[in-house]
Amino acid sequence: KNQVEQSPQSLIILEGKNCTLQCNYTVSPFSNLRWYKQDTGRGPVSLTIMTFSENTKSNGRYTATLDADTKHSSLHITASQLSDSASYICVATENDYKLSFGAGTTVTVRA
């Protein structure tokens, strides 16, 4: 069973609207939680990295939250743009170096 589960698998939103992606993980001992954005035909690009002591971190219109007690993270996209259409991958790090990847959430932003 995968140690990182993401939901929803995909979603469609209208340009300008907000959306929130969910991630639950079970890795232990936990080191940090990462979110990556992967555009079609490109490699993943790092958005945020949070350690267990951080509750929130922003990167422009992307805001990630982390609850290490419930082993849950979310990624909020504010005022979506067409360029936000991509796959968003949640990654939990175990033991300082072992990365467990989620299958990703595909976001489609429509005009």
Q: Which residue in the set 64, 66, 102, 105 belongs to the binding site for another protein (CB under 8 A)?
A: 102
Q: If DSSP states are collapsed to H, E and C, what string results for the chain? A: CCCEEEECCEEEEECCCCEEEEEEECCCCEEEEEEEEECCCCCCEEEEEEECCCCEEEECCEEEEEECCCCEEEEEECCCCHHHCEEEEEEEEECCCEEEECCCEEEEEEC
Q: Does 64 bind another protein (CB under 8 A)?
A: no
Q: How far is the CB of 36 from another protein (least distance, A)?
A: 8
Q: Does 71 bind another protein (CB under 8 A)?
A: no
Closer residue to another protein, CB minimum distance, 97 or 111: 97
Q: Does 51 bind another protein (CB under 8 A)?
A: yes
Q: Does 105 bind another protein (CB under 8 A)?
A: no
Which residues of the shown chain bind another protein in the complex (CB under 8 A)?
Answer: 2, 4, 9, 31-32, 34, 41-46, 49, 51, 89, 93, 96-97, 99-104
